Amino acid sequence: MKIVVTKDYESLSEIAAAMVLEKMMLPQRVNLSLTAGVTPLGMYKILIERRKALRMDQSNIHYYNFDEVPLPKAESNFTMGDLNQAFYNHTDIDRANIHPLPVDGIQDYERELMMNGGIDLMVLGVGTDGHFCANMPGFTSFDKGIFEIPIAPGHKLYEQLLTLTPELPGEKIVTFGPRAVLKSKQLVVFASGAGKAEIMQKVISGPITEDIPASILRTHPNVTFILDEAAAALIDDVNII
Protein backbone atom coordinates (compact mmCIF):
# COMPACT_ATOMS: atom_id res chain seq x y z
CA MET A 1 0.00 0.00 0.00
CA LYS A 2 1.28 3.42 -0.99
CA ILE A 3 -0.18 6.66 0.38
CA VAL A 4 0.37 9.94 -1.46
CA VAL A 5 -0.80 13.12 0.27
CA THR A 6 -0.99 16.33 -1.76
CA LYS A 7 -1.37 19.94 -0.73
CA ASP A 8 -4.65 20.42 -2.56
CA TYR A 9 -7.20 18.99 -4.98
CA GLU A 10 -5.38 20.32 -8.03
CA SER A 11 -2.21 18.42 -7.12
CA LEU A 12 -4.24 15.29 -6.42
CA SER A 13 -5.80 15.54 -9.88
CA GLU A 14 -2.39 16.00 -11.52
CA ILE A 15 -0.93 12.90 -9.88
CA ALA A 16 -3.97 10.75 -10.67
CA ALA A 17 -3.93 11.93 -14.30
CA ALA A 18 -0.21 11.18 -14.59
CA MET A 19 -0.78 7.61 -13.40
CA VAL A 20 -3.54 7.10 -15.96
CA LEU A 21 -1.47 8.68 -18.75
CA GLU A 22 1.42 6.36 -17.93
CA LYS A 23 -0.84 3.41 -18.75
CA MET A 24 -2.22 5.14 -21.86
CA MET A 25 1.30 5.48 -23.26
CA LEU A 26 1.92 1.72 -23.29
CA PRO A 27 2.04 0.12 -26.76
CA GLN A 28 -0.01 -2.98 -25.94
CA ARG A 29 -3.72 -3.27 -25.19
CA VAL A 30 -4.57 -1.48 -21.94
CA ASN A 31 -7.86 -1.97 -20.07
CA LEU A 32 -8.84 0.94 -17.84
CA SER A 33 -11.75 1.26 -15.44
CA LEU A 34 -12.47 4.84 -14.39
CA THR A 35 -14.84 6.23 -11.80
CA ALA A 36 -17.73 8.63 -12.22
CA GLY A 37 -18.57 11.29 -9.64
CA VAL A 38 -17.15 14.63 -8.50
CA THR A 39 -13.63 13.72 -7.34
CA PRO A 40 -12.32 12.69 -10.79
CA LEU A 41 -13.48 15.83 -12.63
CA GLY A 42 -10.11 17.56 -12.24
CA MET A 43 -8.33 14.43 -13.45
CA TYR A 44 -10.57 14.21 -16.51
CA LYS A 45 -9.96 17.86 -17.41
CA ILE A 46 -6.21 17.20 -17.40
CA LEU A 47 -6.56 13.95 -19.37
CA ILE A 48 -8.66 15.65 -22.05
CA GLU A 49 -6.10 18.45 -22.45
CA ARG A 50 -3.05 16.16 -22.44
CA ARG A 51 -4.54 13.69 -24.89
CA LYS A 52 -5.20 16.50 -27.36
CA ALA A 53 -1.75 18.04 -26.87
CA LEU A 54 0.04 14.72 -27.29
CA ARG A 55 -2.14 13.59 -30.22
CA MET A 56 -2.08 10.13 -28.72
CA ASP A 57 -3.02 7.01 -30.60
CA GLN A 58 -5.68 5.53 -28.37
CA SER A 59 -6.73 2.55 -30.46
CA ASN A 60 -5.17 0.17 -27.92
CA ILE A 61 -6.96 1.66 -24.88
CA HIS A 62 -10.23 0.07 -23.74
CA TYR A 63 -12.55 1.36 -21.03
CA TYR A 64 -14.69 -0.82 -18.76
CA ASN A 65 -17.37 0.54 -16.43
CA PHE A 66 -17.40 -0.99 -12.96
CA ASP A 67 -20.95 -0.13 -11.89
CA GLU A 68 -24.22 0.93 -13.43
CA VAL A 69 -27.70 2.07 -12.47
CA PRO A 70 -30.28 1.52 -15.23
CA LEU A 71 -32.44 4.54 -16.03
CA PRO A 72 -35.10 3.03 -18.33
CA LYS A 73 -36.51 6.35 -19.56
CA ALA A 74 -33.21 8.22 -19.97
CA GLU A 75 -30.94 8.45 -23.01
CA SER A 76 -28.18 6.60 -21.13
CA ASN A 77 -27.82 4.81 -17.83
CA PHE A 78 -26.55 6.68 -14.76
CA THR A 79 -22.82 5.90 -14.67
CA MET A 80 -22.41 5.87 -18.43
CA GLY A 81 -24.14 9.24 -18.69
CA ASP A 82 -21.85 10.70 -16.04
CA LEU A 83 -18.70 9.38 -17.75
CA ASN A 84 -19.90 10.62 -21.14
CA GLN A 85 -20.41 14.11 -19.77
CA ALA A 86 -17.16 14.22 -17.80
CA PHE A 87 -14.77 12.49 -20.20
CA TYR A 88 -15.81 10.32 -23.12
CA ASN A 89 -17.74 12.97 -25.09
CA HIS A 90 -14.76 15.34 -24.98
CA THR A 91 -12.32 12.92 -26.60
CA ASP A 92 -11.89 11.05 -29.89
CA ILE A 93 -12.15 7.66 -28.19
CA ASP A 94 -13.62 5.05 -30.52
CA ARG A 95 -16.96 4.11 -28.98
CA ALA A 96 -16.18 0.47 -29.80
CA ASN A 97 -13.43 0.71 -27.15
CA ILE A 98 -15.92 1.70 -24.43
CA HIS A 99 -17.51 -1.30 -22.74
CA PRO A 100 -20.49 -0.29 -20.56
CA LEU A 101 -21.36 -2.71 -17.78
CA PRO A 102 -24.62 -4.30 -18.95
CA VAL A 103 -27.67 -4.45 -16.74
CA ASP A 104 -28.11 -8.05 -17.86
CA GLY A 105 -25.41 -10.54 -18.85
CA ILE A 106 -22.81 -9.63 -16.22
CA GLN A 107 -21.30 -13.13 -16.29
CA ASP A 108 -20.59 -12.78 -20.01
CA TYR A 109 -19.06 -9.34 -19.37
CA GLU A 110 -16.73 -10.71 -16.70
CA ARG A 111 -15.74 -13.64 -18.92
CA GLU A 112 -14.99 -11.35 -21.88
CA LEU A 113 -12.96 -9.02 -19.66
CA MET A 114 -10.82 -11.88 -18.36
CA MET A 115 -10.29 -13.17 -21.91
CA ASN A 116 -8.98 -9.71 -22.84
CA GLY A 117 -6.47 -9.60 -20.00
CA GLY A 118 -8.44 -8.13 -17.09
CA ILE A 119 -8.27 -4.57 -15.78
CA ASP A 120 -4.79 -3.02 -15.91
CA LEU A 121 -5.68 0.07 -13.88
CA MET A 122 -8.82 0.90 -11.94
CA VAL A 123 -9.39 4.39 -10.52
CA LEU A 124 -11.80 4.51 -7.59
CA GLY A 125 -13.35 7.03 -5.27
CA VAL A 126 -14.58 6.36 -1.73
CA GLY A 127 -17.90 7.57 -0.32
CA THR A 128 -18.34 9.06 3.14
CA ASP A 129 -19.89 5.74 4.20
CA GLY A 130 -16.86 3.79 2.95
CA HIS A 131 -18.44 2.48 -0.25
CA PHE A 132 -16.60 2.01 -3.54
CA CYS A 133 -18.21 1.20 -6.87
CA ALA A 134 -21.72 0.31 -5.65
CA ASN A 135 -20.44 -1.74 -2.71
CA MET A 136 -22.52 -0.10 -0.01
CA PRO A 137 -22.29 -1.09 3.66
CA GLY A 138 -24.89 -3.76 4.30
CA PHE A 139 -25.29 -4.63 0.62
CA THR A 140 -22.00 -6.31 -0.26
CA SER A 141 -19.55 -8.90 0.99
CA PHE A 142 -15.87 -9.36 0.29
CA ASP A 143 -16.44 -12.55 -1.73
CA LYS A 144 -18.60 -10.86 -4.38
CA GLY A 145 -17.54 -10.82 -8.03
CA ILE A 146 -19.64 -8.78 -10.46
CA PHE A 147 -23.12 -8.86 -8.96
CA GLU A 148 -26.50 -7.18 -8.87
CA ILE A 149 -28.45 -5.55 -6.05
CA PRO A 150 -32.26 -5.60 -6.43
CA ILE A 151 -33.87 -2.25 -5.62
CA ALA A 152 -37.41 -0.87 -5.61
CA PRO A 153 -39.26 2.22 -4.35
CA GLY A 154 -38.76 2.40 -0.59
CA HIS A 155 -35.45 0.53 -0.74
CA LYS A 156 -32.61 2.50 0.89
CA LEU A 157 -30.45 2.55 -2.23
CA TYR A 158 -33.39 3.43 -4.48
CA GLU A 159 -34.23 6.44 -2.34
CA GLN A 160 -30.56 7.52 -2.32
CA LEU A 161 -30.49 7.38 -6.12
CA LEU A 162 -33.49 9.69 -6.32
CA THR A 163 -31.32 12.40 -4.75
CA LEU A 164 -28.75 12.00 -7.57
CA THR A 165 -30.90 11.88 -10.69
CA PRO A 166 -34.34 13.16 -11.75
CA GLU A 167 -34.89 9.89 -13.62
CA LEU A 168 -36.50 6.88 -11.96
CA PRO A 169 -34.00 4.01 -11.52
CA GLY A 170 -34.66 0.50 -12.76
CA GLU A 171 -35.06 -2.60 -10.63
CA LYS A 172 -31.42 -3.30 -9.82
CA ILE A 173 -27.88 -1.95 -9.59
CA VAL A 174 -24.98 -3.88 -11.13
CA THR A 175 -21.44 -3.49 -9.82
CA PHE A 176 -17.99 -4.98 -9.54
CA GLY A 177 -17.82 -6.50 -6.08
CA PRO A 178 -14.67 -6.57 -3.94
CA ARG A 179 -13.39 -9.83 -5.43
CA ALA A 180 -13.74 -8.45 -8.97
CA VAL A 181 -12.06 -5.14 -8.08
CA LEU A 182 -9.13 -6.87 -6.39
CA LYS A 183 -8.42 -8.80 -9.60
CA SER A 184 -7.28 -5.51 -11.19
CA LYS A 185 -3.53 -5.32 -11.70
CA GLN A 186 -3.31 -1.83 -10.18
CA LEU A 187 -5.65 0.34 -8.11
CA VAL A 188 -5.66 4.10 -7.60
CA VAL A 189 -8.00 5.26 -4.83
CA PHE A 190 -8.48 8.97 -4.28
CA ALA A 191 -10.38 11.22 -1.89
CA SER A 192 -10.54 14.96 -1.42
CA GLY A 193 -11.78 17.36 1.23
CA ALA A 194 -12.34 17.45 4.97
CA GLY A 195 -15.60 15.56 4.57
CA LYS A 196 -13.61 12.43 3.65
CA ALA A 197 -11.09 12.66 6.52
CA GLU A 198 -12.93 10.44 9.00
CA ILE A 199 -13.76 7.68 6.55
CA MET A 200 -10.28 7.64 5.00
CA GLN A 201 -8.74 7.21 8.44
CA LYS A 202 -10.96 4.14 8.89
CA VAL A 203 -10.24 2.83 5.38
CA ILE A 204 -6.46 3.10 5.75
CA SER A 205 -5.88 2.58 9.47
CA GLY A 206 -8.97 0.88 10.89
CA PRO A 207 -10.03 -2.77 10.89
CA ILE A 208 -10.76 -4.47 7.59
CA THR A 209 -14.49 -4.99 7.79
CA GLU A 210 -17.49 -5.25 5.48
CA ASP A 211 -19.01 -2.39 7.49
CA ILE A 212 -16.37 -0.21 5.76
CA PRO A 213 -16.24 -1.90 2.34
CA ALA A 214 -13.30 0.18 1.05
CA SER A 215 -11.10 -1.10 3.89
CA ILE A 216 -10.50 -4.23 1.79
CA LEU A 217 -8.77 -2.16 -0.90
CA ARG A 218 -5.61 -1.78 1.14
CA THR A 219 -4.99 -5.53 0.86
CA HIS A 220 -4.30 -5.16 -2.87
CA PRO A 221 -0.59 -5.67 -3.64
CA ASN A 222 -0.43 -2.61 -5.94
CA VAL A 223 -2.75 0.07 -4.54
CA THR A 224 -2.02 3.78 -4.27
CA PHE A 225 -4.19 6.05 -2.12
CA ILE A 226 -4.03 9.69 -3.26
CA LEU A 227 -5.45 12.11 -0.70
CA ASP A 228 -5.31 15.85 -0.42
CA GLU A 229 -4.20 17.35 2.88
CA ALA A 230 -7.76 17.80 4.13
CA ALA A 231 -8.78 14.18 3.44
CA ALA A 232 -5.59 12.89 5.13
CA ALA A 233 -5.92 15.08 8.23
CA LEU A 234 -6.66 12.18 10.62
CA ILE A 235 -4.03 9.76 9.28
CA ASP A 236 -0.77 9.58 11.21
CA ASP A 237 2.76 9.71 9.77
CA VAL A 238 2.10 10.96 6.24
CA ASN A 239 4.19 13.43 4.28
CA ILE A 240 2.61 16.10 2.10
CA ILE A 241 4.02 16.59 -1.40
Quote the crossing angle between the two packed helices 41-54 and 9-24, to the nearest 10°.
50
**Per-residue pLDDT at 28:** 95
**Per-residue pLDDT at 51:** 84
Mind listing the domains of the chain with CATH numbers? 2-228 (3.40.50.1360)
> Do residues 89 and 98 make contact, with C-beta atoms less than 8 angstroms apart?
no
Q: What's the CA gap between 219 and 69, in Å, rounded? A: 27
> Do residues 63 and 34 make contact, with C-beta atoms less than 8 angstroms apart?
yes
The pTM of this model reads 0.94
Q: What's the CA gap between 47 and 29, in Å, rounded? A: 18
Q: What's the CA gap between 109 and 180, in Å, rounded? A: 12
* pLDDT tens-place values along the chain, 241 residues long: 999 999 999 999 999 999 999 999 999 999 999 999 999 999 999 999 998 888 877 899 999 999 998 887 777 888 999 999 999 999 989 999 999 999 888 999 999 999 999 999 999 999 999 999 999 999 999 999 999 999 888 888 888 887 778 787 888 999 999 999 999 999 999 999 999 999 999 999 999 999 999 999 999 999 999 999 999 999 987 766 6
Amino acid type, 226 = I
**Per-residue pLDDT at 240:** 67
Alpha carbon 163 to chain centroid distance?
A: 20
Q: By three-state DSSP, how is residue 9 classified?
A: helix
Number of C-beta neighbours around residue 154 at 10 A: 7
Catalytic residues: 67, 129, 131
